[in-house]
């Protein structure tokens, strides 16, 4: 009797079919998670990461940056009025874009919240449409 080395074509085809079935079961469950993960990351930036930096800025200076000073005031001391008297930054390591590659929008004083509005237009990059990620409640728009 001769010793066989390797796999037969039938064995290889069986393995390919089994892998295909497993992929067909797993991929649909993971497909919708990318959109959800990006929205969650943007919400975390808005509600926690950037919000904490703004809170520290406000504790040091007694006010939030103006709309014109924007998010850059967290990274470098603003030269425009009102110049923060006790700027102790940088309050962030770097200014990040939202998960879709767009800039976060900052407005102070806020139209929707008492201190400032911070938001992302979401995946479509356009204001409205129900996919915006904001620091205020959706129902209060």
Per-residue pLDDT, averaged over 108-131, amounts to: 88
Categorize the per-residue pLDDT at 3 as very low, low, confident or very high, splitting at 50, 70 and 90: low
Which pLDDT value is given to residue 86?
Answer: 94
Report the SS3 class of residue 5.
Answer: coil
Which pLDDT value is given to residue 14?
Answer: 86
**pLDDT surpasses 90 at 97:** yes
**pLDDT surpasses 90 at 7:** no
Return the CATH fold of 34-140. Answer: Glycoprotein, Type 4 Pilin (3.30.700)
If 0-12 CB within 10 Å is exposed, 13-18 middle and 19+ buried, where does residue 10 land? exposed
The answer to whether 106 and 71 have CB atoms below 8 angstroms apart is yes
pLDDT-above-70 percentage for the chain? 92
Domain boundaries, the chain: 34-140
Q: pLDDT by residue (tens digit) across 14-58?
A: 888 888 888 887 777 776 678 888 889 999 999 999 999 999 999
Which residue intervals of the chain are DSSP H helices? 9-31, 33-44, 50-61
Instruction: Using alpha carbons, list the distances in angstroms from residue 99 to 56, 67, 121.
Output: 24, 22, 11
Which pLDDT value is given to residue 118?
Answer: 95
If 0-12 CB within 10 Å is exposed, 13-18 middle and 19+ buried, where does residue 74 land? buried
């Amino acid at each position: 009797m001769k010793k066989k080395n390797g796999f037969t074509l039938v064995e290889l085809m069986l393995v390919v079919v089994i892998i295909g079935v497993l992929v067909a079961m797993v991929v649909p469950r993971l497909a919708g998670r990318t959109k959800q993960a990006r929205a969650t990351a943007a919400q975390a930036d808005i509600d926690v990461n950037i919000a904490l930096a703004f809170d520290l800025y406000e504790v040091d200076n007694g006010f939030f940056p103006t709309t014109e000073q924007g998010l850059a005031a967290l990274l470098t001391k603003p030269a425009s009025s009102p110049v923060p008297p006790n700027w102790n930054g940088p309050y962030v390591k770097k200014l990040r874009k939202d998960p879709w590659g767009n800039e976060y929008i900052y407005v102070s004083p806020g139209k929707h919240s008492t201190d400032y509005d911070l938001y992302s237009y979401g995946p479509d990059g356009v204001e409205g449409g129900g996919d915006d990620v904001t620091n205020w409640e959706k129902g209060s728009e």
